[in-house]
Amino acid sequence: MTHPPWDESYTGQAPAPWDIGRPQPAFLRLAEQGLLSGRVLDAGCGTGEHALMAAAHGGDVTGIDVSARAIEMAREKAAERGISVRFEVASALDLGALGIRFDTVIDSGLFHVFNVEDSARYVASLGAALAAGGTVYLMCFSDRQPGDWGPRRVRQEDLRSAFSDGWAVDSITAQEFDLNPGLSTPTAQAWLAVIRRL
Give pLDDT, residue 80.
98
Look at phi and psi of residue 99 and say left if phi exceeds 0, alpha if psi is from -120 to 50, else beta: left
User: Is the pLDDT confidence value at 81 over 60?
Assistant: yes
119-154 burial string, b = 16+ CB within 10 Å, else e? Answer: beebbebbbebbeeebbbbbbbbbeebeeeebbbbb
pLDDT at position 5 is 67
pLDDT for position 1: 39
Between 42 and 4, residue with greater pLDDT? 42
E strand intervals along the chain:
39-43, 60-65, 86-89, 102-108, 130-141, 167-178, 187-197
On the question of pLDDT at 3 being above 60, the answer is no
Residue 44 has pLDDT above 60, yes or no: yes
Q: How much is the mean pLDDT over the chain?
A: 93
Q: Give the predicted TM-score (pTM) of the model.
A: 0.94
Class of domain 4-197: alpha beta
C-alpha distances out from residue 122 to 64, 82, 163, Å: 13, 31, 10
Give pLDDT, residue 101.
97
Cβ–Cβ under 8 Å, residues 150 and 99: no
| Beta strand 130-141 pairing with 167-178 | unpaired
Burial code (b: 16+ CB inside 10 Å, e: under 16) for 18-45 equals bbbeebbebbbebbeeebbbbbbbbbbb
Measure CA 21 to chain center.
15
* d(C-alpha 176, C-alpha 14), whole Å: 22
For the chain, the domains span 4-197
Q: What is the pLDDT of residue 39?
A: 98
pLDDT at 104 over 50: yes
Given a cut of 70, whether residue 28 has pLDDT beyond it is yes
Q: Provide the CA 79 distance to its chain's centre, in angstroms.
A: 21
Percent share of the chain, pLDDT over 70: 96
Q: How much is the average pLDDT of 172-193?
A: 91
What is the distance between the alpha carbons of residues 25 and 75, in angstroms, rounded to a whole number?
22
For 127-167, what is each residue's pLDDT tens digit?
A: 999 999 999 999 999 999 998 888 999 999 999 999 999 99
